[in-house]
Amino acid sequence: MAGRRHNVFWITAALVIAIGGLAVAKFVAFDPDDVKKEFEREFADLPKDDVIRRDTLMRGMLANESYQNHAKAQYRDLERAYARTHDAAELEREAQKAVPPFLTRCKELSTATTEDLHRLYDEARTHLTNYGTTRQAGPLREAMSRVKERLDQQDKVLPKDLLELQKAVHEHCKGGRIAAAKDAIAAFRKRPGSNDYAAQLRELEEMVRRKETAVTPR
């Protein structure tokens, strides 16, 4: 019985020594520089063209206690970089929710009225102001261009429009509404194709000036 207890003692002691030796060997073999190199490799592999995935991976790196404890300088740099990346990722996520429904509304423009097109154009400009730095910027510019093209087609000045303007300006002047006559000409000038009628517009403006001079008290 004593011999058996003696054997158990030495076996246990051997196991303790072996486990302790492994722990010591592991401690001796650990090199913080290896952690820093691993950090640098992982950071270099972060995607540059997908800010949402980059945000997710950077958050995972920040949760790595080994980086936090043994690559402290790089970890602090990562914290600063993550703040900027996270803001950009949040904007990208917001754009992914806000922009696609608008783009869907811009697909079919054949039945859109001039008022609808103006509204879509203004909305496109607002989206570009808000999300012009996101991946939605390209599709937004393309949609805006198509809306503008369609708007120009619908709002393009025709000869009959000039005749209507001339009639309206004469009526405004006859009624003493000089400001209304000027506004009508100014609005006409903003329409696509108005430059084709530059000479006629100058004549109208000259007529309005003469009327204005005639009604202005001396």
pLDDT class for 25, splitting at 50, 70, 90?
very low
For the chain, give the secondary structure using H, E and C.
CHHHHHHHHHHHHHHHHHHHHHHHHHHHHCCHHHHHHHHHHHHHCCCCCCHHHHHHHHHHHHCCHHHHHHCHHHHHHHHHHHHHHHHHHHHHHHHHHHHHHHHHHCCCCCCCCHHHHHHHHHHHHHHHHHHCCCCCHHHHHHHHHHHHHHHHHHHCCCHHHHHHHHHHHHHHHHCCCHHHHHHHHHHHHCCCCHHHHHHHHHHHHHHHHHHHHHHCCC
Res 26: pLDDT: 47
Bigger pLDDT: 20 or 42? Answer: 42
Distance separating alpha carbons of residues 93 and 134, to the nearest angstrom: 9
**pLDDT of 167:** 96
Nearest Cα to Cα of residue 152 among 124, 186, 207, 190? 190
Name which of 13-17, 64-68, 91-95, 122-126 the model is least confident about: 13-17
Domain ranges across the chain: 33-103, 106-152, 159-215
**Average pLDDT estimate for 105-128:** 92
Q: Report the distance separating Cα 208 and Cα 203, nearest Å.
A: 9
How many alpha carbons lie under 13 Å from residue 39 in its C-beta half-sphere?
23
- Residue of 19 and 164 predicted with greater confidence: 164
**Angle CA 192–197–202, to nearest 5:** 120
Cα–Cα distance measured from residue 11 to residue 84, given in angstroms and rounded to the nearest whole number: 58
Calculate what percentage of the chain has a pLDDT beyond 90: 67
Q: Are the C-beta atoms of 47 and 53 separated by less than 8 Å?
A: yes
pTM of structure: 0.59
Residue 82 is predicted with a pLDDT of 95
